[in-house]
Structure 1
């Protein structure tokens, strides 16, 4: 049986279908856009494989008559062609409203904290049955994980690019300083002297450090600050700030979500923004579901964490500083 299946191709099935519909070699050949001789060769092959003449010239000399065996096969042939059509369409069509696809996004806590609050409601509104898993990336083998389909996309920095990966910029993020509502210093602009004198909370992406990019920028000015608390997760920062007099400098689109409990002010020194990129393997570029996910992530990142009808910048936030340099490394701030 397997060797017979190997002999069949879609062209033979379409030829059989066309002959059943037209009962005429000339018309069937025109339907398939092939020559009459090519169609006759296919018919001969069908007769050999199925062990039946299938179509016999009509006594009237006009067209052909289908054999009983050919007529018996017609319903199954119709179903088979429909299944083949569905099979081909499945690879190219993605319906988010009914899909139960599981999407796996590799990213550290920091970009997830920035993107997920916008991305998840957007995905669930368009595709209520899909599942989304955020996983910690293994940087050493992230290219392999993407190639093997262990994860769908990876959020990382430019240095994470590797052969076979495609990258699109998700966002370039700026920093602001946050403090709890009712902070003893008040809500006015923050001077450099005051910034250096206050206790700071630092988010160390690698964990346990008390110095980061802000300290490097301060050192260039001949200044330093006092970092008394270090955490590894962005998510902890608002909780700690809300119950202490610490201040913390983090991405604006993350902190602005907590504007009801935190005051945001411009840091009194120029800080480089950092870029986050969306990576995927080239083999997934044509996958309809994957393309949909990428589109959703890029759209969500473009909104910047603020809905179209959101109010203006909270009181106490100054205009954006002029940017003088850019970093692509995940910041320790």
Structure 2
């Protein structure tokens, strides 16, 4: 175990390394930067976007201090703290034929879709829900990141299932249409994760407190 050290945010000069998914970086990072810098102006923040298989080792050896996201397959040696539940919506171009309409299960399955296989496994759940109704999505374009979704939606053909917060950011200029899904998806829980070796580090304790205060109400502000 690492020894506890005193920490004064007003004067501390230190770097904190946080790992996010691309969704977390895009939606939550501005909030985190503002919250930390308003309390500790001399701190440095470093963002790391890591995949789930490498994240456990990075937390254990201190390459990153904390991870924020939905990582259900991280090892049990990590400590976690719940922040909020993330819900999903369907997103299409405002010019799409489904914009403003009620989305049925069959129309959902028949519509060409952008699919991002994130850490939460939501796409697998969708496929299972459709299979239970003898339906299957046929026309899929798989993407490595949600950040590729908006320019492809702008082409007018595709539908994408995305976290609700991300849909709000993508639709900031009103060029898209947000539709309720025609089925109930279990929410993915966003958590803070850290290794028990660093549980007593005073600076990281302070940072965890700031993150909980800032993000535990769904990351909204």
Tell me the equivalent position of 2:81: 168
Tell me the equivalent position of 1:203: 116
1:278 matched to 2:200? The reply is no
**By how many angstroms is 1:248 displaced?**
0.5
SS of alignment partner, residue 167 of structure 1: strand
Tell me the equivalent position of 1:300: 214
C-alpha distance in 2 between matches for 1:139 and 1:157: 7
| Bigger helix share | 1
C-alpha distance in 2 between matches for 1:105 and 1:139: 14
**By how many angstroms is 1:192 displaced?**
1.9
1:226 matched to 2:162? The reply is no
1:268 matched to 2:176? The reply is no
After TM superposition, the score normalised by the length of structure 2 is 0.82
Query: Residue 217 of structure 1: which of 122, 129, 133 is its match?
Result: 129
Contact kept in structure 1, 2:84 and 2:217, CA below 8 Å = no
Query: Residue 192 of structure 1: which of 105, 112, 115 is its match?
Result: 105
Query: How many pairs align?
Result: 212
**By how many angstroms is 1:138 displaced?**
6.2
C-alpha distance in 2 between matches for 1:245 and 1:296: 42
Residue by residue over 1:135-175, the C-alpha shift from the partner in whole angstroms, topping out at 9 and shown as x without a partner, is: 24365564443343221112352331333x21112322111
Tell me the equivalent position of 1:253: 165
**By how many angstroms is 1:224 displaced?**
1.7
Query: Residue 113 of structure 1: which of 26, 31, 35 is its match?
Result: 26
Tell me the equivalent position of 1:130: 43
| RMSD (CA atoms) | 2.6
**By how many angstroms is 1:252 displaced?**
0.9
Q: Given the superposition, is the C-alpha separation of residues 120 and 174 from structure 1 closer, same or farther in structure 2, using an over 3 Å criterion?
A: same
| Bigger strand share | 2
Alignment map for 1:16-31 (pairs within 5 Å) = none
Contact kept in structure 2, 1:161 and 1:167, CA below 8 Å = no
Contact kept in structure 2, 1:202 and 1:230, CA below 8 Å = yes
Structure 2: 5+ residue stretches without partners: none
**By how many angstroms is 1:177 displaced?**
0.5
C-alpha distance in 2 between matches for 1:92 and 1:304: 30
C-alpha distance in 2 between matches for 1:118 and 1:239: 25
1:146 matched to 2:59? The reply is yes
1:101 matched to 2:3? The reply is no
